[in-house]
Amino acid sequence: MDRHWTSLFSDLDVKVQADAPLGPLTWFGVGGCADALVTPRSPEALAELVRRCRHNQVRVRVLGSGANLLVDDAGVEGVVISLADPSFTSLEVNTEGGIELMKVGAGHDLMKLVTECARRGLAGIEGMTGIPAQVGGALAMNAGGRYGEIGDAVHAVAIVRPDGALRVYAKSELHFAYRHATLPEGVIAWATFSMREENPVEVRARVREYMAYKQSVQPMSNSAAGCMFKNPVDPGTSQRVSAGKLIDDAGLKGHRVGKAFISDRHANFFTCEPGARTDDLRELVRVAQSAVRERTGLGLETEVVFWSRHGDGA
């Protein structure tokens, strides 16, 4: 970490780890270090940290659960923010009358949130069952699947802007699309969701149903992150087609590059063994993209986020 900007943190209520290994914090378990991993202990500390980083032209990234992230072997520059402190993992519901809104910190675990809502009989986000993420990361990519998207339930999103100001955006000011959210620049601090009260037994039954489906078709392991690719649109039908089926049809189930391989259970899930490198997974991505494009003419866009010192992206 460049010593000249360590003073960014010296008087802030934050935890700082210099040259922090990021690989162990991701589901893939590979990748290099961040110059600094910073965990703010209050919203005020987060706001001032973001403001100072912008003022000093220090790159900021936010680390969520690491389930949809691949970090370059050479690591990343600048500051990586973790919202793991309890001040960013809170859950609040209105205490009088019927429950209509739920406020959740960006660092709250999405799967735990689904479970808690089911226990309380709160319906609205059970479609997120089985999706590994923190709430902020799920919002940033509009996480979802067969049973809906998180953007469907959003009421408002609070974002710490680059100048350190906290701004709350109503859903009408935002745009959610397939695996994409158009959000203002900054760090998501919390969000509110529109909920409805239902019989807890019925909500829990839907959660069990959705999880059973996921377990029947997807590899559920810590070394396999979420889907590697978004489902592309077939220009002939204007409908999305399964990226996993396209890769399977190209004969790539089980295909290996180094210690990384395509799942033989679901071809849109890439996984790796101990000793794998990020470059193994990058090459595996290129192999799949090339094979599908040659066979069908369709391009595959990664859903997994790639971090690199040379620019983020696959």
Q: Per the domain annotation, does 225 fall within a domain?
A: no
Q: Per the domain annotation, does 196 fall within a domain?
A: yes
User: How confident is residue 257, by pLDDT bands cut at 50, 70 and 90?
Assistant: very high
Query: Is 146 part of the annotated catalytic residue set?
Result: no
Q: Per the domain annotation, does 188 fall within a domain?
A: yes
Residue of 33, 227, 272, 277 with catalytic role: 227
The residue from 52, 86, 120 where one domain ends is 86
Q: Do 280 and 211 belong together in one domain?
A: no
The residues pairing with 21 across neighbouring beta strands, listed in sequence order, are 33
* Pairwise CA distance, residues 202 & 32, whole Å: 44
Q: Do 80 and 96 belong together in one domain?
A: no
- Kindly report, residue by residue over 110-156, the tens digit of the pLDDT: 999 999 999 999 999 999 999 989 999 999 999 998 899 999 999 99
The residue from 53, 86, 119 where one domain ends is 86
Q: Do 74 and 51 belong together in one domain?
A: yes
Q: Select the more confidently predicted residue: 1 or 213.
A: 213
Q: Do 171 and 252 belong together in one domain?
A: no
Residue of 33, 53, 179, 272 with catalytic role: 179
Q: Do 93 and 209 belong together in one domain?
A: yes
User: How confident is residue 222, by pLDDT bands cut at 50, 70 and 90?
Assistant: very low
Closest of 62, 56, 48 to residue 187, by C-alpha: 62
Displacement of CA 298 from its chain's centroid (Å): 25
Q: Do 173 and 131 belong together in one domain?
A: yes
Give the pLDDT confidence score for residue 10 in this predicted structure.
Answer: 85
Q: Do 237 and 297 belong together in one domain?
A: yes
Closest of 235, 260, 261, 258 to residue 247, by C-alpha: 261
The answer, yes or no, to whether residue 7 has pLDDT greater than 80, is: no
Q: Per the domain annotation, does 312 fall within a domain?
A: no
Query: Is 96 part of the annotated catalytic residue set?
Result: no
The answer, yes or no, to whether residue 223 has pLDDT greater than 60, is: no
The number of domains in the chain is: 3
Q: Select the more confidently predicted residue: 252 or 219.
A: 252
Q: Per the domain annotation, does 223 fall within a domain?
A: no
Q: Per the domain annotation, does 271 fall within a domain?
A: yes
Percent of the chain with pLDDT over 70: 94
The residue from 183, 217, 251 where one domain ends is 217
User: How confident is residue 217, by pLDDT bands cut at 50, 70 and 90?
Assistant: confident
Q: Do 248 and 293 belong together in one domain?
A: yes
Query: Is 179 part of the annotated catalytic residue set?
Result: yes
Tell me, yes or no, if the pTM score tops 0.85.
Answer: yes
Domain that holds residue 78: 3-86
Q: Do 97 and 207 belong together in one domain?
A: yes
Q: Work out the mean pLDDT of the chain and round it to a whole number.
A: 92
User: How confident is residue 95, by pLDDT bands cut at 50, 70 and 90?
Assistant: low
The answer, yes or no, to whether residue 311 has pLDDT greater than 80, is: no
- Secondary structure class of 24 (helix, strand, coil): helix
Q: Select the more confidently predicted residue: 216 or 141.
A: 141
CATH code, 20: 3.30.43.10
* Pairwise CA distance, residues 312 & 89, whole Å: 27
* Pairwise CA distance, residues 118 & 126, whole Å: 8
Q: Do 164 and 256 belong together in one domain?
A: no
CA torsion through residues 181, 184, 186, 189, sign = negative
- Kindly report, residue by residue over 293-307, the tens digit of the pLDDT: 999 999 999 999 999
The residue type at 60:
V
β-strand pairing of 101-105 with 91-93: antiparallel
Q: How many angstroms separate the Cα of 305 from the Cα of each of 13, 29, 111, 227, 268?
A: 29, 14, 20, 11, 15
Q: Do 202 and 260 belong together in one domain?
A: no
User: ∠ at Cα 23 (20, 26), nearest 5°?
Assistant: 115
Q: Per the domain annotation, does 151 fall within a domain?
A: yes
**Residue 248 CB-density burial (10 A; 0-12 exposed, 13-18 middle, 19+ buried):** middle
Q: Do 140 and 259 belong together in one domain?
A: no
**Rg of the Cα trace of the chain?**
20
Is the CB of residue 158 less than 8 Å from the CB of residue 190? yes
Q: Per the domain annotation, does 222 fall within a domain?
A: no
